[in-house]
Structure 1
């Protein structure tokens, strides 16, 4: 099955979501600006605005990094702070690009930008090679199961375009990424400032015979085959118009997180486990026979069963396990530490439940990929394993099977701050904790 996503001359092109990452001053925003500029994806008024801003900063030539660094604070500090999304297209493919920050303080934003990416471009300054932030970004790409990673060795002009410099960096990074489990690494030597191997092949690096960055982005395989996905619909809203025309209408609306649904298909509602059959599917107010991933639809079922926001509709023969005990790998994104015994809210799909951090078995050491056992807490940008018990059972997939329904976030219940982004590893059955009668605050379960 193919998914029509647009009309017109680009109707038959595929869509690639990709993110950029790297250390501060490695040239991510310059690379993105060069990519947009040289692929003729920048409007004239945008280029004029960048040229004007560059002159105000005393620069003789347009600073292409300003095409993505849109916040005033970013321009004043000369660093990327927020995730900047850009949409552009070539005759061969359409792109959604997330330019993520490089500063350690904003590593959490890389998790946001790469969470839906099918490819990540990790930049390295050829003068500095692989540094700790490079390893952190590689670990996050592996953790988020981004299928394709591009190592862009930037600023080759500052090392006289020497092949041995590039080869050593590519070898070190590839070995590290492979140990993390990254399935594919493509290394490309570039100069974003000069434009070498970004859109056009470099005239000064004839020793390199691989693709340019844009050529690789245009040709990397992207699978949109939905036939092997686990179909999942988190219910966002129950629709009951109660009009004279439709007095008995009851629909369950939401965005399909994965797979596809078809009229006549048997489904199960979780966590209740009740079953029914799809009587109809409404898409944009019109009935359809089938709907698939990312479409926002309303399902109508043959049976009148109790369904509410937060429930998950799945195929009858393909239901994920329902559990209150979750073990996951997480990236902690808040300044506030996550500790054993921490009372949190866990948001999974459209459902939010109370939860307690029961254990933090290990924290990943980025230098040698060793595990620090039972660290007691995770601080900002730490990657580790956690065990969580929820107040209510949740239907969760393994993240390896579904990036959408195998992920969750932990939230501070006092102020709504996002604490941690989690990827479900495996469920485990831990004994119920012994309840302390003096600690009866409604959070022990």
Structure 2
């Protein structure tokens, strides 16, 4: 125990010493994305809370993807715990924008404080949470430690732990294990994720495998209507290919493939949605240099009949453009990023192309390919091969689209299971007794 306390103090010291470097990195990002230069005080726990926050439920989601996954769970919590205020934290400005877009003034948004003792204490004192819901696997030793001291129960929801993340957490070793074990429970996405958490040191009895919240994605009618409006703007003959959440290495291959495909299929239009705002200008110029008529969402509104490439240089509109497309490529997967959420395309019955680097979504991506909803593409040659087939064969597109949508429908339910666990804990009922009739797959040993 004494050794753990020493490590905790050492971790806090190192974190404090590294803070100036973190601020320099934040400022560098702010050169390209001005929003990073704002609201720094929140990252140190300095902010003014609304007067109506007497007790709250706090949900943390790092960025846009995690916020999107959390939406159904947050709405279920808001419906169930109407006597609580809701505090939502993110780390990125894009995540903040998404929170404001979806929830507006119904929640209080603030940036998550750095994992410094003083900042964490100030944050908890101001927000007064009765429950902390941490999306996916954001393990911050001081944050979890001080929640435990203030008797704030922590739920890790939609928890996942890739092999890469497992190796990364090992540098804090026992501190990461203690953070996991300071939770009320962990709602893991898959058995593989659960076993990795056990490897890290999480107590098996803390973990319940409930599936991915991403399958419970909510598509509001307004998004469907907006997608139809966008689609109606195009000529009927146009085939729309969306390349979503792209990074540099994805775009290199997309650009090469599109150059070939455009000659074969003149009516093909590419809608490209870079993952990060700082890439908007670079992406636009790379296509213009090759002579493509490249238009911007922020300038043109919608692509006209002469457009070859349409760059969505705005935030929070990805789903609308999925809804108006015929075929999807999901980025971060040729680039060695670990992939992004393929289910956001699948839910719109789109055939999906995805690269091989999907360690953040291994099992979901594998399920999508096994059901016939996606193809794996490694480079521009693969993209051209599969795009060519999909463009020519409407029946193939429809068959893959149905398979993708069916996969989403079959795996829904993680929100209800997670809510069962939360309600059991909040009502002080033994978790196992409260949910044993639900047949939760539960990790009980490390094998």
Q: TM-score, normalised by structure 1?
A: 0.29
**Which structure shows the bigger proportion of residues in helix conformation?**
2
TM-score normalized by the length of structure 2: 0.29
Structure with greater contact order relative to length (CA < 8 Å, sep ≥ 6): 2
Which structure has more strand as a fraction of its residues?
Answer: 1
Bigger-Rg structure (1/2): 1
